[in-house]
C-alpha cells in the first residue's frame, strides 16, 4: 500500500511540474509575442518617421524654390514698374515740349519785332495750351477765393478780422493750388477772414458812436 501511495505522489508531483512548466512556457510565449509586437511597432514608427522626414525635406525644397521664384517675380515687376514710370514721364515731357517751344518762339519774336500786342496774344495762346495740358493729365485748380477755408487743400498765410465776409471765408488767393484726381499736389496759399465775435463788434460800434 505504501508503494502505491508513493507512486501516486510521484505522479502527482510530476503532473504539477508539467503544469508549472506549461505555465512558464506559456508566459515565455506571451513575453516573446509582446517583444515581437514591440519590435514591429518600433519598426513601423521608424518607417513612419523616415517618411515624414522625407516629406519635410521635400517641403523645404519646394519652399526654397517658391521663395526664389517670388524674388525673381518681384524683380521682374520692379523692372516693369520702372519702365512704365519712365514711359509715362517721357509722354509727359513730350506734352510739355511744344508749350516750351511756343514760349521760346514768342520771346524770340518779341525781341526781334518789339510787337507787344502780338507777344501778349502769343502768351495767351500758350496759357490756353497749358490749361489743356493740365486738363488732359487730370490736374485741376483748387477753388479758393470765396470758399470756406479747408486745411486739407488751403494754406493760410494771412488772417484778417472783418464783418464783411463770413467766418473762415477765403478773401484772397496768393498762389494757386493744384489737385491730381483726389491728391493735393500743392495747396492754395490764401488770406482767411476770422469774423469778430458779437461782443467785439458791439464794442467797436459803441466806440464809433462815442466818437
131 and 169 housed in the same domain = no
Could you report the per-residue pLDDT of 158-172, keeping only the tens digit for each?
999 999 999 999 999
- Burial (CB < 10 A; 0-12, 13-18, 19+), residue 119, is middle
Classify residue 199: in a domain, yes or no: yes
Of 191 and 27, the one with more pLDDT: 191
Last residue of a domain, one of 111, 137, 163: 137
- Statement: residue 115 has pLDDT above 70: yes
One DSSP character per residue, 26-89 reads HHHHHHHHHHHHHHHHHHHHHHHHHHHHHHHHHHHHHHHHHHHHHHHHHHHHHHHHHHHHHHHH
Residues 157, 122 share a domain: no
Q: Please indicate, yes or no, if residue 79 is contained in any of the structural domains.
A: no
CATH of residue 190's domain is 2.30.22.10
Do 181 and 209 lie in a common domain?
A: yes
Domain count, the chain: 2
Residues 193 and 208 grouped into a single domain: yes
Report field, pTM of the whole predicted structure over 0.85: no
Q: Is residue 149 in some structural domain? A: yes
pLDDT at 140: 92
Report the SS3 class of residue 7.
helix
In a domain, 43, yes or no: no
Domain range spanning residue 204? 139-211
Amino acid at each position: 500500500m505504501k508503494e502505491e501511495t508513493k507512486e501516486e505522489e510521484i505522479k502527482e508531483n510530476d503532473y504539477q511540474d508539467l503544469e508549472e512548466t506549461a505555465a512558464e512556457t506559456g508566459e515565455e510565449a506571451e513575453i516573446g509575442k509582446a517583444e515581437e509586437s514591440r519590435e514591429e511597432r518600433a519598426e513601423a514608427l521608424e518607417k513612419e518617421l523616415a517618411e515624414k522626414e522625407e516629406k519635410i525635406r521635400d517641403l523645404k525644397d519646394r519652399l526654397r524654390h517658391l521663395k526664389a521664384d517670388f524674388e525673381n517675380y518681384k524683380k521682374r515687376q520692379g523692372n516693369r514698374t520702372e519702365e512704365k514710370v519712365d514711359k509715362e514721364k517721357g509722354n509727359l515731357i513730350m506734352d510739355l515740349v511744344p508749350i516750351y517751344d511756343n514760349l521760346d518762339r514768342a520771346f524770340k519774336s518779341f525781341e526781334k519785332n518789339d510787337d507787344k500786342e502780338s507777344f501778349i496774344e502769343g502768351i495767351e495762346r500758350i496759357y490756353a495750351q497749358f490749361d489743356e495740358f493740365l486738363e488732359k493729365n487730370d490736374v485741376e485748380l483748387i477753388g479758393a477765393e470765396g470758399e470756406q477755408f479747408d486745411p486739407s487743400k488751403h494754406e493760410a498765410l494771412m488772417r484778417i478780422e472783418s464783418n464783411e465776409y463770413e467766418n473762415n471765408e477765403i478773401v484772397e488767393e496768393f498762389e494757386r493750388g493744384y489737385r491730381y484726381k483726389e491728391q493735393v499736389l500743392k495747396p492754395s496759399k490764401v488770406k482767411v477772414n476770422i469774423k469778430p465775435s458779437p461782443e467785439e463788434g458791439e464794442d467797436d460800434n459803441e466806440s464809433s458812436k462815442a466818437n
